[in-house]
A and B are shown apart, each in its own frame.
Chain A
Amino acid sequence: MSATSRIDSATPERSAPAGVPHLDVDPFSTEFFEDPHRIHDVLREAGPVVWLEKWGVYGVARYAEVHAVLNDPLTFCSSRGVGLSDFAKEKPWRPQSIILEADPPAHTRTRAVLSQVLSPTAMKQVREHFTAMAAAKIDELLDRGSFDAVADLAEAYPLSVFPDAMGLKQEGRENLLPYASLVFNAFGPPNQLRQEAIERSAPHQAYVAAQCQRENLAPGGFGACIHARADAGDITAEEAPLLVRSLLSAGLDTTVNGIGAAMYCLARFPDQLARLRSDPTLARNAFEEAIRFESPVQTFFRTTTREVELAGHRIGEGEKVLMFLGAANRDPRRWENPDRYDVTRRTSGHVGFGSGIHMCVGQLLARLEGEVMLAAIARKVASIEISGPVKRRYNNTLRGLESLPITISPA
């Protein structure tokens, strides 16, 4: 397929670049979702920069280039969208995010607000409660023995702590996961996944828009804390709901997939579960390593603001560059035995949460949830066995499972 056969008619036809390896790979296809690692290897070995003919974009899959693009936000901007859609040419499907889809200096101010709301100090305040809820969840699941580690654990646990921590009402919470799924599908190309997600989105969008308003957020929660920053003059009253929306978009499904990734790792690598059980203080690193190993957020785009040379290749202005975070996290140039899940690995520097100014602002919250869940497992669970067919869930950005039937036994 040639680069000019894009179905995205809003983008003008352009000739494909010379000198850059052209690949007929669709990173938003079922084939790719089923086994990204084989194709990641092809992408990395083809060269430091590749051209993806299917969507007419550049791609980077090696650690060095992914890290470099993430850490040069002035050249590789976010304000033109971090999905395939270029906001300079197409209207965003929803009002643009004022943090994710923003560049400095606009980004700096909104980012600071969320950094404060989700600071290490704020995490200390919720830690005890999150720990108790994780222990209670594992006790409940040990009583059942067999269950679905996606629905009953990876989804159920964050749903038992995150909406309350945000300060959301009880009603309508069933919209949260479909909304997040929509947001992450929408970063992809105009394929069936994206189109169907947007077509079904009206009720989920309406729910989230309402929950972002001040009167719907309980005092003391993260949502109310964001609105309080408007009182302090750090943001405007109109900006506060949009920042709450960012947390509702990015704060739940990512953690679900992160915890799901950790469960899938521990189920497949019993020696690593044994290692974790022998030293429960490894729980936090075991979660971090699962993020590196599975990379629940697989890809993000940037758009070039000027002509730039990257690894010896000239890239023009206004080009989309797709960063393969999952491929970078298993690049053998950076990681020893990258395809091994090792709970003792020194994981610092992985790009599963991104890097640079847009690095996941909720990373501390994700790590807290992952750590306390894996610590509860380390203390209470002797074995984890996959006891039924494992089904993958397809999403243009998120990597995770639809179903992971497991049986656990008590320690």
Chain B
Amino acid sequence: MPSITFVHPDGRAQRIDASDGESAMQGATRHDVGGILAECGGNAMCATCHVYVDEEWLARLPAMGDDEDALLDGAAAERRANSRLSCQIKLAADLDGLVLNLPDRQL
């Protein structure tokens, strides 16, 4: 069961236990992590589950798809090199300890 940490814009860290196979977005909504809206429910259509991936972890994530890339251009908060949509980050044991930083807004 991978454990991941969301860091809020004010620096507060929120650690959750996710299930294997669920996405970081699903874990966040299940544990009521504020700052992840996920309006489209994980269908890569809304860009409201935007996160900044901790640099240490960035290279270990699966590659970004074209849909995700295009949606990130429309994200409400600034797009950075470590921007990802958390609905596209599928969790498994090798991502245990993942750190995701939340942007200041999703809309």
Q: Write the residues of chain A forming the contact surface with B, with a CB cutoff of 8 angstroms.
A: 115-116, 119-124, 284, 288, 346, 348-351, 353, 355-357, 359, 361, 363-364, 367
Contact = CB atoms under 8 A, between A and B. Distances in A.
A121 B74 contact: yes
Contacts of B37: 348
In the A-B complex, the 6 residue pairs with the closest CB atoms: A120-B74, A121-B74, A348-B38, A349-B41, A359-B43, A120-B47
14 contacts: A115-B70, A119-B73, A119-B74, A120-B47, A121-B73, A121-B74, A346-B29, A348-B42, A349-B38, A349-B41, A355-B41, A355-B43, A359-B40, A359-B45
A115 B45 contact: yes
Interface in B35-74: 37-43, 45-47, 67, 70-71, 73-74
Interface of B: 29, 32, 37-43, 45-47, 67, 70-71, 73-76, 107
Q: Is the interface of A mostly helix, strand, loop or mixed?
A: helix
Contacts of B41: 348-351, 355, 359
Contacts of A357: 43
A119 B70 contact: yes
A232 to B, nearest CB: 14
Contacts of B75: 120
A123 B107 CA distance: 11
Given A346-B29, A349-B29, A288 B74 contact: no
Given A119-B71, A120-B71, A348 B39 contact: yes
B82 to A, nearest CB: 19
Contacts, number: 53
Nearest to A288: B39
Contacts of B40: 353, 359, 363
B20 to A, nearest CB: 19
Nearest to A116: B70
Contacts of A367: 39
A284 B71 CA distance: 19
A35 B74 CA distance: 40
B16 to A, nearest CB: 14
Nearest to B67: A115
Contacts of B29: 346, 348-349
B39 A120 contact: no
Contacts of B43: 355-357, 359
A363 B46 contact: yes
B30 to A, nearest CB: 9
Contacts of B42: 348-349
Contact of B32 (A121, A288, A346, A350): A346
Question: Which of B40, B70, B73 gathers the greatest number of chain A CB atoms within 10 Å?
Answer: B40
